Chains A and B, each alone.
Chain A
Amino acid sequence: MDRTKAILFFVLVFLLVVLAFIFFKNSGSERIKKPGEIPQPAVSTQAPIEKSTRKVTLFFLREEDSRLVPEERNIVSDPSTVREAEEVIAELIRGSQTGLVSSLPAETKLVQLFITKEGVAYVDFSKDLVDKHPSGSAAEISTVYSIVNSLAYNLKPIKKVFILIEGEERETLGGHISLDHPFLPDYSLIVKE
């Protein structure tokens, strides 16, 4: 009796140990696998940078003429197009680092951004984009196309851009350019070097 009880006890303990070993081994390997799943660029091997970056081209204005001027910038690369699009907009609002003129009021905030299956990016801005806007056709065209071109140029999934203000469709920014439709990028506005 006692012997059979003892054998049963040992078998149970053994099973528990085996199960525990399998459980911890798996969860442990998952922890190791996770960072490996994110595509690491070659840079990560030489520098201990935690987040990889990618180069993007933003479009600003310059005093000489009314063309859009490219300025390169690094953003944190992300498998999500939405994340990268948010970063592009944040950098646009931050303004130029080389003395170019910004086409978005500095007070502007990005409220939300989403991209449809058809590749239309809906970019929702705070009301500052309207209230702090200088008005004028030239000013509105600059604002619209620095947003649209900066997104579509860097992010392939984005084909068109719809500008929203505080979650709603707005007639215009300041009485000129109609915002009731998504915009295709217009690269003819970019300076030709």
Chain B
Amino acid sequence: MNMPKRTVKVLCGPGLVLLALVLALSAAGASGSKELKTIVIDPGHGGMDLGAKGKFGTLEKNITLAVSFKLKALIEQNLPYRVVLTRDKDIDVSMENRSAIANNNDAVLFISVHINGSQRKKAQGSETFFMNLNASDEETRKLAYMENTSAELEKQIEDKNKDEVKMILWDMAQSAYIKQSSQLAEEIQKELNIFLGTENRGIKQAPFKVLKGVACPAILVEVAFISNPEEEQKLIKDDFQRKVAEAIYQGLKKYTKLFS
């Protein structure tokens, strides 16, 4: 039509810049891995933070790391995902940094691996948690709004403003993924029951510090009780740790199939 030349130029300018940006970004992405999506695995505790302790001296932080290594290998061998660990040695990592690692890597799934502990010596079994904010009425209204509109919001917000909006929502990032997180928890819990034969403590919601700021479906598994001497003996065995990794892997595999 009779679009003035100046408008065409004005439209072309930002368009070219955008194109260049997209190319640069995809090139940067490709250099690391061929656009593989990232799963972040979070081995609970580490360093000075020992986590729960067993009667025989087993430390939660060591078991979570061992299981996480096995899980990473299983995923990378069998699924088209890249796995990033929030720690790959015995070091302290802050809660904020754990969720930041997930968000900075554009993680599609976040799995925090823990071993349970209780004041009760007989406490046993495995359970899978997802986020619950235990919010006030006002917060609940805000969250309900976000949950219902987060997909809509994504579309409406201009790309240039997205980062800013993300920053504002950072602290409650997980609230937009509660439904998917509960599904992921359900799939993983089913497999834990099958593979481990530990008591089924089910899926539960609790306000976990480490899950709060994660901007993707996120769960926290609590595998058996280190505070229960019988379960502690199981947890130190390589074979049991392998089964834990296998169970989580099968659960997340089933979950990803639901969404592909």
Contacts and interface: CB of A to CB of B under 8 A. Distances in A.
Given A172-B95, A175-B44, A137 B122 contact: no
A176 interface: yes
Interface residues of A, number: 30
A183 B53 CA distance: 27
Contacts of A172: 95, 209
Interface in B120-177: 120-123, 127, 129, 133-136
A135 B207 contact: no
B154 to A, nearest CB: 26
Interface stretch (A38-46, A138-146, A150-158): A138-146
Nearest to A160: B136
Interface in B209-248: 209-210, 212, 220, 222, 225-227
Nearest to B94: A171
Contact of B118 (A66, A171, A180, A182): A66
A135 B60 CA distance: 10
Contacts of B222: 136-138
A181 B134 CA distance: 9
Contacts of A181: 133-135, 207
B134 A138 contact: no
A172 B112 CA distance: 16
A39 to B, nearest CB: 33
A126 interface: no
A139 B117 contact: yes
A141 B42 CA distance: 20
Interface in A118-137: 134-137
Nearest to B139: A181
Interface residues of B, number: 37
Interface in A53-95: 61-64, 66
Contacts of A160: 136
B118 A142 contact: yes
A178 B207 contact: yes
Contacts of B123: 66, 138
A115 interface: no
Contacts of A171: 95, 209
A108 interface: no
A35 B95 CA distance: 54
Given A134-B52, A135-B53, A184-B134, A176 B119 contact: no
Contacts of B44: 175
A101 interface: yes
Given A175-B44, A177-B207, A137 B95 contact: no
A193 B67 CA distance: 39
A5 to B, nearest CB: 79
A181 B206 CA distance: 13
B201 to A, nearest CB: 8
A136 B61 CA distance: 11
A182 B135 CA distance: 9
B206 A136 contact: no
Given A139-B52, A172-B95, A134 B119 contact: yes
- A-B CB proximity, top 10 nearest: A136-B117, A178-B209, A135-B52, A136-B52, A138-B118, A178-B207, A63-B122, A136-B116, A139-B118, A135-B117
14 contacts: A64-B122, A134-B227, A135-B50, A135-B51, A136-B52, A137-B117, A138-B116, A139-B117, A139-B227, A175-B44, A176-B208, A177-B207, A178-B212, A181-B134
